[in-house]
Each structure stands twice: as C-alpha cells, then as structure tokens.
Amino acid sequence: MASAIAFVVILALLAVFQLALVFGAPLGRFAWGGQHRVLPAKLRVGSFVSILVYAAIALLALDRVGAIDVVPDLVSTVGMWVVFGYFVLGILMNAISRSKPERYTMTPVVTVLAVLSLLIALS
C-alpha cells in the first residue's frame, strides 16, 4: 500500500506540473523534448491528455492494491504490467532527451515510477 500511495503522490505532482504547462507556465524545457519555454497549443493539449492518463494510471494502481475496486482484477493485474512497461520506455525517452533539464529531472522521476509500478504489479 505504501508503494501505491507514493506512486499516486508522484503522479499527482506530475499532473500539477502538466496543468501548469497547459496554462502557459514557462516550464517547457522540462517536458516534451524541452524545445519550448512555453508550450504551443498542440503540446498543451498533450499535457492535458497526460493528466487524464495519470489519473487512469493512479486508479489502476489503487485498484491493484485493493484500496478501491473499480475494474476487474485481471484488468488491474495486466494493466499494471503495461504501466510498468510504459514507465520503462519513459526512462529511455527521457534519458535521450535533447533537453538537459528534462533529462536530469524527469529520468529519475520516471525511474522511481517504474520501480513503484513494478512493486505494485508484483503485489
């Protein structure tokens, strides 16, 4: 359960970050390849979609550990393995980013999310 709580807290913080990007905060160097100080409209939409994805992942994780019951067990079990794979891919994508701020900030964050999602998937 502690892994799931930490996981959801990190996702919530990332959602706040993405929301700031949606509203034009000059933090674009930390996201989407770091090519924009303020994100253009298409990437702002992407940030909004990211918030929805984070919410779905959080619900899946909480369901997997039994904190809530919103999807069948098979869905949460398989889903968390998919989430783990998603974050492993995210490690690679952030590690090869041309943006140093994104590479040095987001790679460790996504690594922690990958480890936590693995622990949740194994639970």
pLDDT of amino acid 114? 98
Per-residue model confidence (pLDDT) at position 106: 95
CA distance 12 to 86: 17
Q: 70, 64, 69: which is closest to 122 by C-alpha?
A: 64
DSSP 8-state symbol, 24: T
Structure confidence at residue 71 (pLDDT): 93
How high does pLDDT run on average in the chain?
A: 95
- Rounded Cα distance between 63 and 92, Å, is 27
Average pLDDT over residues 79-88: 97
pLDDT at 22: 97
pLDDT score, position 1? 84
Q: Provide the number of structural domains found in the chain.
A: 1
Q: Which residues contact 105 (CB under 8 A, 6 or more apart)?
A: 30
For range 83-98, the mean pLDDT: 95
Vertex 94 angle, CA 8 and 9, to 5°: 10
Domain that residue 11 falls in: 2-122
**What percent of the chain is modeled with pLDDT above 90?**
94
Other CB atoms within 10 A of residue 66 CB = 12
Phi, psi of 65 (to 5 degrees): -90, 0
Q: What is the pTM of this model?
A: 0.90
